[in-house]
Amino acid sequence: MKRRRKLCSGCYMDNKFYVIGGQDERGESLNCGEFYDLEKKSWELIPNMIQGARSWSSPSPPLLAVANNELYSLEASTNKLRVYIKKSNSWRGLGMAPVRADHSRGWGVAFKSLGDELLIIGSRGDSYACFGMTICTCRPHPGSGSLDWKVLASDGGQWSSFIYNCSVMLS
C-alpha cells in the first residue's frame, strides 16, 4: 500500500481491492483511499476519497459496503447513506439510515452487502436511548433519491446486548 493505515475499511469492486480511510501511524485521520490493481500488480492512491474530517475521538472504521459493484457508505456522524461516484471521486446522498450510527461513533453498527441488497444492523433510529436493535435490508438504486428499507427484525429492547453485539460482530 502507499499509505500505512489502521482502523480502515476494505472492499472489492471493479476487480480491485480497495482500502479506504482509517488513521495513519500518528492517529491522524486519512481521507484518502487506495486500490490494488490485480492486473498491474500495483497500488494506486485516491486522494480525498472520504469527504470531511472526522472530529470524534475513536471513530469506527468507515462503514462501507459494495452492492452491484457500487460503493456505499453509511456516514456515522449523520446516519446518511451515500453512494460513491467513481468518475468524479465524489459522493452523493441517498437518504437516512434506519439506525443510529451517530450514537456510538459508528461502533456497534453492521453495514454489509447481502447479494444486491445492503444489510444494516444497529440501534433503532427513533431515540437517543437506542435500546432496541433493528435488522434491515435495502436494494439501493444509485440514481434514485429515495430508499426503501425493509425491516427484517426489530426487538423493541427485548434482545440482550450479548445477542446484539454477536450479531454485529458476525456480520
Quote the pLDDT of residue 147. Answer: 86
3-state secondary structure of 87: helix
Query: How many Å apart are CA 53 and CA 134, to the nearest integer?
Result: 28
Please give the grid coordinates belonging to residue 112: 454489509
Quote the pLDDT of residue 164. Answer: 56
pTM of the model: 0.85
Q: Residue 34 forms beta bridges with which residues?
A: 19, 45
| Torsion sign across C-alpha atoms 113, 149, 77, 170 | negative
Residue in the structure block whose three cell numbers are 484518502: 32
Burial grade of 33 (CB within 10 A; 0-12, 13-18, 19 or more): buried
Quote the pLDDT of residue 51. Answer: 74
41 touches 11 (CB < 8 A): no
Quote the pLDDT of residue 69. Answer: 95
Residue pLDDT tens, the chain, 171 long: 999 999 999 999 999 999 999 999 999 999 999 999 999 999 999 999 987 545 556 678 899 999 999 999 998 888 899 999 999 999 999 998 888 777 677 777 889 998 899 999 887 755 545 557 788 899 988 777 678 889 887 776 665 555 555 655 565
Quote the pLDDT of residue 53. Answer: 47
